[in-house]
Amino acid sequence: MPPLELVHPSRRKGRGSLVLAAIDLSTASLAVAIGMTWANHSADRLPPSWMMCFFAPTVVALFAIRGLYKRSLNRSFLDELPKIEALTSVAAMLLLSGLVLNPDVDGSNRGPAVAKVWMVAAVLIPLGRLVWFLIRNHQFRRDRLISPTLIVGNGRIAAQVVERLEVTPQYGLRPVGLIDDDVPSMGLDRDKPSSIPYLGKLDGLEDVITQTGAQCLIVAFSRTRDDAMTAAVKVAHKRGMAVWIVPRIFDTIGVHAHIDHIGGLPLIAVPSTDPRGWQFAVKHVSDRMFAALGLLLISPLFLTLMLLVRLSSPGPIFFGQPRIGRDGRVFQCLKFRSMRPPSEADAAFQRSADRAPGGVEGEDRRTRIGKILRATSLDELPQLINVIRGEMSLVGPRPERPEYVDLFNVQIARYGDRHRVKAGITGWAQVHGLRGQTSIADRAEWDNFYIENWSLWLDWKILAMTVGAVLRRAE
């Protein structure tokens, strides 16, 4: 672990926001310069430059008002994109309003000039932010720009927080120690020591912050008295630290939850998701429309793959396998066939005990084209037909075989809840790397998170992330 830079947290945590604001100011100013140059080719008189220069600071001010410079652990570029475009449009309308109210500005040229600045800004400002996100995430993966983080807690939830921060550097937090009035048991594998040290009790929090250079505090479940926890949060705030608190019954709290108050007493309002409501009806209609359109657009590729599969070895082009869909209904999940038919030698092969379910039995029966199809996930394309039939969605939990569903329903809490919606070609768990030989319990947790926080924009975000994930696997 690289040494920690001991800088006061309140100064370090604002650096990212200042850098991002500078990037926005630069890209917005560049958009004004390019837009005005573009407008100059088709107009004799342009709006005064001093008025056009108000566009860039207006963009930054609107972004600040709408919280685009506040730290958020889960907000990605795709989450911010709609706000960026909407606020850029508002800034352009404010600029146009100012020009309209100025009697000295030629009315015939102000509209086209602002429109061209807006069009350039709508591309450059998101592009600047995208570059920032990519650079920042790259630095996080290299353990740079990471915020040292203390965990308050003494059990299983504290262990989960530590584990997830360690395997997900994109959060930008590195756990450096546990602090609690009770020695943490971590609540997982008693034979496996904690990856981070126990640093003492809460009354020594100030000294621990100084020693570790911690910038963030996460309060997980603890048996410590509430007044001691409250005092710890106050100490953290006094030191300029960011503080997060894991709430009770967190399984019921999604991204749409918000804080209400009754006489100053905070309440977490928890909205529900109805998979049988009109929103999901809209989702199912749009799924079929876009699946049909997608199948039409990729028809040359689809027909080519059909021909290659047919020529690769004897057998059908498509392979159907029973899978469990919405409400436990069984359907035939379609794929391009990627394996040759079994031979007598394959039939005599006995699978070893440690071979993963679904693995290739005996010798590798994958065809040459089948290996490519699996590596690039192109073997999943026939599932567009399942979507058109109404058996699947474009986005949803990946379907599992009936024999495994029966087992997982017994072993894993809330596994059956993922069958509230139709299975999907891609899903929230898959775009976060949970595929193949990964934890089924973790996949179920991500799938249920998707269902309880569903929106059409989340579907589009997952589809965009799927393209990136497929391209990375194909490299």
Q: Hey, what domains does the chain have and what are their CATH numbers?
A: 9-141 (no CATH), 147-246 (3.40.50.1980), 278-343+363-474 (no CATH)
d(CA 30, CA 128) in angstroms, rounded, equals: 11
Residue that wins the pLDDT comparison between 473 and 463: 463
Q: Are 351 and 393 in contact (CB under 8 A)?
A: no
Q: ∠ at Cα 89 (88, 93), nearest 5°?
A: 120
Rounded to an integer, the average pLDDT of 219-240 is 88
In our burial notation (b when 16+ CB lie closer than 10 A, e otherwise), range 194-211 reads bebeebbbbeebeebbee
Q: How much is the pLDDT for 355?
A: 47
Closest CA to 236 of 265, 200, 202, 197: 202
Q: How much is the pLDDT for 189?
A: 46
Among 249-263, 288-302, 304-318, 391-405, name the one with the lowest average pLDDT.
249-263
Alpha carbon 137 to its chain's center: 13
> Residue 110: is its pLDDT beyond 80?
no
Q: Provide the 10 A C-beta neighbour count for residue 290.
A: 16
pLDDT tens digits along 309-343: 998 888 889 989 999 999 999 999 999 998 877 66
Closest CA to 427 of 466, 453, 454: 466
d(CA 120, CA 464) in angstroms, rounded, equals: 23
Q: How much is the pLDDT for 297?
A: 94
Rounded to an integer, the average pLDDT of 19-37 is 93
pLDDT band at 4 (very low <50, low <70, confident <90, very high): very low
Q: How much is the pLDDT for 343?
A: 62
> Residue 361: is its pLDDT beyond 60?
no
SS3 137: helix
Amino acid at 452: E
Both tokens of residue 144? 């740079």
pLDDT band at 375 (very low <50, low <70, confident <90, very high): confident
> Residue 356: is its pLDDT beyond 50?
no
How long, in residues, is the chain? 475
Where does 270-401 have alpha helices with state H? 278-297, 299-312, 344-348, 368-376, 383-389
> Residue 395: is its pLDDT beyond 90?
yes
Q: How does strand 147-152 pair with strand 173-179?
A: parallel
Give the CB-side neighbour count of residue 73, counting CA atoms within 13 A: 18
Q: What is the DSSP letter of 380?
A: G
Residue that wins the pLDDT comparison between 327 and 376: 327
In the chain, the largest separation of any two C-alpha atoms, in whole Å, equals 90
pLDDT tens digits along 424-469: 999 998 888 777 777 888 888 889 989 988 888 899 999 988 887 7
Where does 147-270 have alpha helices with state H? 156-167, 205-212, 226-238
Rounded to an integer, the average pLDDT of 114-139 is 92
User: Which residues does 469 contact at the CB level (< 8 Å), separation at least 6?
Assistant: 430, 431, 433
Rounded to an integer, the average pLDDT of 112-137 is 92
SS3 260: strand
> Residue 377: is its pLDDT beyond 90?
no
d(CA 297, CA 337) in angstroms, rounded, equals: 22
d(CA 382, CA 225) in angstroms, rounded, equals: 57
Query: Hey, which of 39-43, 90-94, 338-342, 402-406 has the most confident mean pLDDT?
Result: 90-94
Closest CA to 184 of 159, 154, 143: 154
Provide φ and ψ at 132, rounded to 5°: -60, -45
Q: How much is the pLDDT for 106?
A: 60
Closest CA to 283 of 450, 456, 454, 453: 456
Instruction: Region of 469 please: left (phi>0), alpha (psi -120 to 50) or beta.
Output: alpha
Q: How much is the pLDDT for 119?
A: 95
> Residue 83: is its pLDDT beyond 90?
yes
> Residue 217: is its pLDDT beyond 70?
yes
Rounded to an integer, the average pLDDT of 69-96 is 90
User: Which residues does 174 contact at the CB level (< 8 Å), separation at least 6?
Assistant: 1, 143, 146, 147, 148, 149, 165
Q: How much is the pLDDT for 43?
A: 60
Question: How does the average pLDDT of the chain come out, rounded?
Answer: 84
Within the chain, how many helices (H) and strands (E) appear?
17, 10
Q: Is 0.85 topped by the overall pTM?
A: no
Q: Are 467 and 417 in contact (CB under 8 A)?
A: no
Q: How much is the pLDDT for 344?
A: 56
Rounded to an integer, the average pLDDT of 48-54 is 79
Q: How much is the pLDDT for 63?
A: 96
Rounded to an integer, the average pLDDT of 71-97 is 90
d(CA 185, CA 411) in angstroms, rounded, equals: 24
Question: Using CB atoms within 10 A of its CB, is residue 158 exposed (0-12), middle (13-18) or buried (19+)?
Answer: buried
d(CA 81, CA 354) in angstroms, rounded, equals: 45
